[in-house]
Amino acid sequence: MKRKNRAWVRVLLAVGVAGAGLIVSACGEEPIVPPPPAPPEYADQHMPAGYWSDPDIIEQGRQIFIGAENIDVNCASCHGKDGKPKKAGARDFRRTDQMKLYSDSVWFWRVSEGVKGTKMKPWKSKLSEDDRWKVIAYERTFGLKGMEYDVVKAAWVPVGTAGSASEDGAAEGGQADKAPVDGAGSEKGSPEETPQ
């Protein structure tokens, strides 16, 4: 009897361990975590016009990313030349579902100021603003290739379609306060329905 019990325990343990293993390997990826909003001094910073779609800019961004411009700035040493992280914990830019949660402003803020308590340093002393935008234009090609950030819609959209937006006709004033609908006619309104 005792023996049998122990065998059972072992079976259960084995199943449990295997199960846990499966779960870990299936959901091994880190969960999707939205970044915090950009602080006020970055909230209005946006990708310069034309950069998302300019192959020269993107190529310059790639040179920065791989450390070819300045060996002290080598994003690829942690984030991987092909976007596959080399250092544990480095953000994986290939993960579209994660990266689409980053506005251009948040992205720029993080590159400028780094992420406290992690290996991601602030780069603003080593990269001009322009270079930071270029490297971002490149970094986004891993998971958001062909996309640009639409500031109005606050969403990633195909390159060339941002801004053209206002399907919802923006709030152009005017129309809104049309003459009040002749309010009076409350034939039904007030008197409580007297149940007969």
In the block, which residue shows the tokens 């992205």? 107
Q: How many CB atoms lie within 10 A of CB 30?
A: 11
Interface with ligand HEC (CB under 6 A), residue from 87, 130, 158, 161: 87
Asked whether position 118 contacts ligand HEC by CB under 6 A, the answer is yes
Taking CB under 6 A as the criterion, the residue among 78, 151, 157, 165 binding ligand HEC is 78
Of the pair 82, 192, the CB lying nearest ligand HEC is at 82
* Residue 125: alpha-carbon gap to chain centroid: 24
Residue 101 lies near ligand HEC (rule: CB under 6 A)? no
Are 104 and 47 spatial neighbours (Cβ–Cβ below 8 Å)? yes
Shortest distance (Å) from residue 53 CB to ligand HEC: 19
Spatial separation of the C-alpha atoms in residues 184 and 171, rounded to whole Å: 29
Please answer whether residues 140 and 91 qualify as being in contact, where contact means their C-beta atoms are separated by less than 8 angstroms: no
Q: Where are the beta strands (DSSP E) in 14-172?
A: 147-150, 155-158
47 binds ligand HEC (CB under 6 A): no
- Asked whether position 108 contacts ligand HEC by CB under 6 A, the answer is no
Q: Which stretches of the chain bind ligand HEC, using CB under 6 A?
A: 35, 73-75, 77-79, 87, 89-91, 107, 110-111, 115, 118-120, 123, 135, 139
